[in-house]
A and B are shown apart, each in its own frame.
Chain A
Amino acid sequence: EADIYQTPRYLVIGTGKKITLECSQTMGHDKMYWYQQDPGMELHLIHYSYGVNSTEKGDLSSESTVSRIRTEHFPLTLESARPSHTSQYLCASGEMTGNSPLHFGNGTRLTVT
């Protein structure tokens, strides 16, 4: 089973609310990622981090922000949720070596009403 944990699993929230999606891993991985998965299945990289105090935006423009204060923790925050943010959010982590696979959490399914 995965050593990467996401909470909550499901979240229904009203427009304009601030939310934080939690992601933690116990493997000591330096690299962490956030992906957004749309209903058509495709994965889009929205944020990534190489280590503490390192964060970068991914390929898909996102109104979310991330922080990396501790190696094991990579939370994603939406300051003001909108219906267009409704999606599945997947967190992943990996070793620094390029040939290592990513480990994924079970995701947070967010619905903004």
Chain B
Amino acid sequence: AQSVAQPEDQVNVAEGNPLTVKCTYSVSGNPYLFWYVQYPNRGLQFLLKYITGDNLVKGSYGFEAEFNKSQTSFHLKKPSALVSDSALYFCAVRDADSSYKLIFGSGTRLLVRP
């Protein structure tokens, strides 16, 4: 069975500081990993994905994520947070052998204070 965990309900950072939103996963095969962001009253927007290759993946709005196979983690990072980054962030995993089923984490609310 596949699963994904986001251990923090909320992350608080000051504007200009680096941010990390954590995600760990469990799949039986090779993972496809995704990060999405949700702004108020909107659907989810795709940020970045890891399929294979370089463990550091760069995405939209200056975000990046690091795939760590040994720790089964895919943490989202940004070197310098903006107030406008405040939103809900969802990690998702799909087992490469089960292409239809994308499993979402429970979400992490990021609050960037001025």
A residues sitting closer than 8 Å to B (CB atoms) are 2, 4, 6, 31, 40-43, 45, 48, 50, 90, 92, 96-99, 101-107, 109
A51 to B104, alpha carbons, bound, how many Å? 22
A99 touching B44 in the complex, CB below 8 Å, given contacts A41-B107, A41-B109, A50-B100: no
Encoded as 1 (CB less than 8 Å from any A CB) or 0, chain B from 97 to 112 comes to 0111110101101000
- Would you call A48 and B100 a contact (CB within 8 A)? yes
**Least Cβ distance of B30 to chain A in Å?**
10
A98:B32 contact, CB within 8 angstroms: yes
Which of B13-21, B45-53, B78-86 is the interface stretch? B45-53
**Is A42 a contact of B106 with CB atoms below 8 Å?**
yes
Q: A41-B109, A43-B90, A43-B104 are in contact. Are A104 and B44 (CB under 8 A)?
A: yes
Q: Mostly helix, strand, loop or mixed at chain B's interface?
A: strand
Q: Are B104 and A98 in contact (CB under 8 A)?
A: no
In the docked arrangement, what's the CA distance between A92 and B90, Å? 15
15 A-B pairs in the complex with CB atoms less than 8 angstroms apart = A40-B106, A41-B88, A41-B109, A42-B106, A43-B90, A43-B107, A45-B101, A48-B100, A90-B43, A97-B99, A99-B94, A102-B46, A103-B46, A104-B36, A106-B42
**How long is the Cα–Cα vector from A6 to B45 in the complex, in angstroms?**
15
CB <8 Å contact, A99 and B51: yes
Residues of B near any A CB (own CB < 8 A): 32, 34, 36, 41-46, 49, 51, 88, 90, 94, 96, 98-102, 104, 106-107, 109
Contact of B41 among A41, A99, A104, A106 (CB under 8 A): A106
Set of chain B residues within 8 Å of A96, measured between Cβ atoms: 99
B106 contacts A98, C-beta separation under 8 Å = no
Cβ–Cβ contact B107 & A42, under 8 A: yes
Cα separation A97 to B100 with both chains bound (whole Å): 9
7 additional contacts (CB under 8 A) given A6-B43, A105-B43:
A42-B106, A50-B100, A96-B99, A102-B46, A104-B44, A106-B43, A107-B43
Chain B min CB distance to A90 (Å): 5
* Complex interface: chain A residues within 8 A of B109 (CB): 41
